[in-house]
Structure 1
Amino acid sequence: MIKRMHTGARMSKAVIHNGVVYLCGQVGDGASVAEQTRDCLSRVDALLQEAGSSREKILQAIIWLADMKDFQEMNEVWDDWVSEGHAPARACGEARLARDQLRVEIIVTAAL
């Protein structure tokens, strides 16, 4: 069985299948990379909780930065957010994001 959450014409914010929840890319509000990262991660927390999971159950995270010069600033927020002993497999790269004001996008896959 596949369960889709917050489904629109283009995408679902989360899809659950076989005990795994897949989140769409989360972006955040704020002027700085740190503010946007905090907001992204808050949205990740909310969707995971709604799906019946948590940040401790994240299997993989993919992070896109508009500019890799923001890597350290994003990591400071990320490192404070990740639960000790529960760091997921993670990739981070640079990409052009959907809107010019976006600095970070985070995609998460987690176990239920």
Structure 2
Amino acid sequence: MTIARSHTTQRMSQIVRHGDTIYLAGQVGDGVSVADQTRSCLNKVDALLAEAGSDRDHLLQVIIWMADMADFHEMNAVWDDWVPAGQAPARATGEARLATLQFKVEIIVIAAAKS
């Protein structure tokens, strides 16, 4: 089974597809607030999934890293509006020091390809 990589640099690929499984690199967003950054991350996820032949209805697992778990409810308010009803993936959320202080949220996605 082949592995296809897109938007690849020396360090990472934004999309890796192996069979019918799609892996996205961690996405960080623009904006000052957690809500803005979460919205921006999810817009990037939508675009990458579409490019890879999937969409948010096909999410398998999502891992969300937050710089501060005190912002959990603000992030979830955006998430809950974005994830399709009845299609919630397996998900984990944790606190971590992100790449720069400006980043408040990083979202990592695994999805199935659309049939």
TM-score normalised by length of structure 1: 0.99
| Identical positions, percent | 66
Secondary structure at 1:24's aligned position in 2?
Answer: strand
Structural RMSD (CA): 0.3
Report the Cα distance in structure 2 between the residues aligned to 1:53 and 1:20, rounded to whole angstroms. 9
1:80-99 pair list within 5 angstroms: 80-99=81-100
For 1:87 and 1:75, the matched residues in 2 are separated by: 12
Which residues of 2 match residues 24-43 of structure 1 at below 5 A? 24-43=25-44
For structure 2, the 5+ residue unaligned runs are: none
For residues 46-85 of structure 1, the aligned pairs below 5 Å read 46-85=47-86
AA paired with 1:64?
Answer: W
The total of aligned residue pairs comes to 112
1:21 aligns with 2:50: no
Post-superposition offset of 1:18: 1.7
In structure 2, distance between residues paired with 1:70 and 1:61: 18
SS in 2 for 1:5: strand
